[in-house]
């Protein structure tokens, strides 16, 4: 199974950005953990991070007929981007939404997720483990 992990704005600053909320692990630490888990599961994974909505939309579109599943942490775009929702709907690739923090326990505006309208599952508040849980879900569901 070939998976695409997409991370949205400010996730490139993991480790220095609000470590009390997001932890001290860096973006590279996150990618290494996901890669090791993918290898152990017999899957392949590629990563994409952008602070720009249009770049995320472009990457989702480029994934059409190339990847078997998408794990996405749209970050702030979770709550604002109909464009990312529409791109995910258009490509119809199985998708799981991930958030490092428990967004439902934070500010009220974070409870709104456009991506949730298309994502099959959502893992929030599990730190980096949420990405591994998303990967396990996609592998168990679509790779038999």
Active site residues: 22, 99
Residues 6+ apart with CB under 8 A from 116: 97, 122
Tokens of 119: 């994502």
* 3-state SS, residue 101: coil
Query: Hey, CA dihedral for 68, 33, 83, 117, is it positive or negative?
Result: positive
């Amino acid at each position: 199974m070939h998976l695409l992990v997409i991370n949205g704005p400010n996730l490139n600053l993991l480790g220095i950005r609000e470590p009390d909320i997001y932890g001290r692990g860096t973006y590279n630490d996150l990618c290494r953990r996901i890669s090791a888990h993918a290898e152990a599961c017999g899957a392949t994974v590629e990563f994409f991070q952008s602070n720009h909505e249009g770049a995320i939309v472009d990457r989702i579109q480029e994934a059409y007929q190339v990847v078997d599943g998408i794990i996405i942490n749209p970050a702030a775009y979770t709550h604002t981007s109909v464009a990312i929702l529409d791109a995910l709907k258009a490509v119809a690739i199985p998708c799981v939404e991930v958030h490092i923090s428990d967004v439902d326990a934070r500010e009220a505006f974070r409870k709104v997720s456009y991506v949730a309208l298309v994502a099959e599952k959502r893992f929030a508040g599990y730190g980096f483990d949420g990405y591994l849980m998303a990967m396990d879900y996609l592998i168990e569901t679509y790779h038999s």
